[in-house]
Amino acid sequence: MHEASIAMGLLNSLEELAEKENAKKVVKVKVRIGKLSGIVIDSFVFAFNALKEESPKLKETELIVEEVPLKYRCRECGEEFSCETVFFPECPKCKSINLELISGEELEVVNAEIEV
Amino acid sequence: MCDVCGCNNHNHDNLMKVSDNTGKKNLEIKKSLLSKNDEVAHHNKEHFDKDGVLAVNLISSPGSGKTTLLEKTIEALKDELLIGVLEGDIETERDAERVRAKGAAAVQLTTGGACHLEAPLVHKGYHALKKQLGRAPELLFIENVGNLVCPSSFYLGEDIRVVLISVPEGSDKPAKYPKAFKTSQAFIITKIDLLPFFDFDIEKVKEEALSLNPNLKVFTLSAKTGEGLEEWFNFLREKVKEKKGALQRA
């Protein structure tokens, strides 16, 4: 259940942001979470919404989560494709298994909307 | 590539204003959700590099044999290397006492409920350990809280991350916990003396782990019988030497 500490970290940075920007409140925040980031999105959202109550500027903040699927690039033919599995994926075009994971590990805050 | 957030740029603090006309403002942030932890982890890494200490982060489920392997490792290497241990647990001093009894300096990090270690606690622990030793260790073990999920998301500044599974846990662990295997540099299968009693397919486990991470260095060993331990000790000896060499070159 490390989702709670990560949610707490996000709330702390939003507090700092609100302070720095002299905001009345933070309206929404958007995060991107990769399928391979090790985060259970439901737990993260639950923790965020439970913990935000503690902060006057954040208690109405809407959390928007974009889930990022696994995406590979084939090192042989350059084909880029989405794929559900991390085990033995192969290129749909040339069947190579020499692949590079290009997305799916994201764990980032994209943007925030504040009211000043 | 940043190994925590998977991004390709490290300009995490780039904060750009996009619009400013309605009393509402959109701020582009583009920052890792773990940036606070990572800042301190990189600071830890600077300490380890400056002190020439090899830092090894051990990750596994509870009961896979991290502490027992540590005891054996300390017994074998304590006369040639100065070893320090940061013991992560939710409660109790027990593991720190176990490794102290074998002759290593140890600081217990109790997380008070948290299921993983974070970089700031390791930072505090490292300074306490140096104070205890009067100098920096040559080999530092960070024994994470027993948990195969959460610790893999938190970089602590370590040089090497080691994931362990024991034979009784079953062969399906790499498939169920891919992140721990993807982010580690070494993988140890422990308690191989129990292989005759379990349906544990050692080749399949290796194959699955390597498909997740082809660079994993794999060890199979038993701390009880001693089988396979020497290869693990030699790996550590070599990595400590490399780390010291890097310090001398710098």
Instruction: Render pLDDT for A66-75 as a digit per residue (tens, 0 to 9).
Output: 999 999 999 9
pLDDT level of residue A50 (50, 70, 90 thresholds): very high
Which residues lie below 8 Å from residue A116, measured CB to CB, with a gap of 6+?
A21, A22, A23, A24, B23, B24, B25
Domains of chain A: 3-69+104-115 (3.30.2320.50)
Q: How far is A62 from chain B (nearest CA, A)?
A: 14
Q: Are A112 and A13 a contacting pair, CB within 8 Å?
A: no
pLDDT score at B20: 54
| Count of H-run helices and E-run strands, chain A | 2, 6
Question: Which chain B residues have a beta carbon less than 8 Å from that of A107?
Answer: 4-6, 32-34, 153
Are residues B6 and A107, on separate chains, in Cβ contact within 8 Å? Answer: yes
A37 inside 8 A of chain B by CB: yes
If you compute the radius of gyration of chain B from its CA atoms, what whole number of angstroms results? 19
User: Which residue among A36, A108, A115 sits closest to B32, beta carbon to beta carbon?
Assistant: A108
Q: Which residues of B touch A36 (CB under 8 A)?
A: 178-179, 182
Question: Would an 8 Å CB–CB cutoff place A80 in contact with chain B?
Answer: no
Please list every residue in chain B whose beta carbon sits closer than 8 Å to the beta carbon of residue A6: 33-34, 153
Q: Residue B19's pLDDT band (boundaries 50, 70, 90)? A: low
- How do residues B86-140 score in pLDDT, each as one tens digit? 999 888 889 999 999 999 999 999 888 888 999 999 999 999 999 999 999 999 9
Residue B243, pLDDT > 80, answer: yes
When pLDDT is cut at 50, 70 and 90, the band that residue A65 belongs to is very high
Cβ contact B178–A88 (<8 Å): no
Using the beta-carbon criterion (under 8 Å), do B153 and A112 form an inter-chain contact?
no
CA A16/CA B232 separation, integer angstroms: 45
Residue in A6, A23, A115 closest to B34 by CB: A6
DSSP-based three-state secondary structure for A76: coil
Picking from B71, B6, B51, the residue whose alpha carbon sits closest to that of residue B32 is B6
pTM above 0.90, yes or no: no
> For B46-95, how does the pLDDT look when each residue is reduced to its tens digit (9 = 90+)?
999 999 999 999 999 999 999 999 999 999 999 999 999 999 988 888 99
Q: Under a CB-based contact definition with an 8 Å cutoff, are residues A27 and A115 in contact?
A: yes
Mean pLDDT of chain A: 92
Question: Is A28 in CB contact (< 8 Å) with chain B?
Answer: no
pLDDT tens digits, one per residue of A12-36: 999 999 999 999 999 999 999 998 8
* Cβ within 8 Å of residue B229, ≥6 positions away: B72, B73, B76, B221, B222, B223
CB pairs under 8 A between A and B: 103
The answer to whether the CB atoms of B32 and A5 lie below 8 A apart is no
Q: Which domains does chain B have, with CATH numbers?
A: 1-33 (no CATH), 35-249 (3.40.50.300)
Question: Cβ A37–B6 below 8 Å, yes or no?
Answer: yes
* Tens-digit pLDDT profile for residues B173-222: 998 898 999 999 999 999 999 999 999 999 999 999 998 899 999 999 99
Answer whether residue A99 shows pLDDT above 60: yes
pLDDT at B21: 59
pLDDT over 70 at B2, yes or no = no
Contact across the interface for B25 and A12, Cβ inside 8 Å:
no
Determine whether the interchain pair B153/A2 forms a contact, defined as Cβ–Cβ distance below 8 Å: yes
DSSP chain B: --TTT--S---TT--EEEEESSSEEEEEEEEETTHHHHHHHHHHHHHHHHHTPEEEEEEE-TTSSHHHHHHHHHHHHTTTS-EEEEEEESS-SHHHHHHHHTT-EEEEEE-TT-SS--HHHHHHHHHHHHHHHSS--SEEEEE--S-SSGGGG---S-SEEEEEEEGGG-TTHHHH-HHHHHS-SEEEEE-GGGGGGS---HHHHHHHHHHH-TTPEEEE--TTT-TTHHHHHHHHHHHHHHHHHHHHH-
Test A116 with B25 for CB contact under 8 angstroms. Answer: yes
Task: Look at A2 and B149 and tell me if their CB atoms are within 8 Å.
Answer: yes
Nearest CA in chain B to A36: B179
**Nearby residues of B107 by Cβ (< 8 Å), 6 or more positions away:** B84, B85, B86, B87, B96, B125, B128, B129, B132
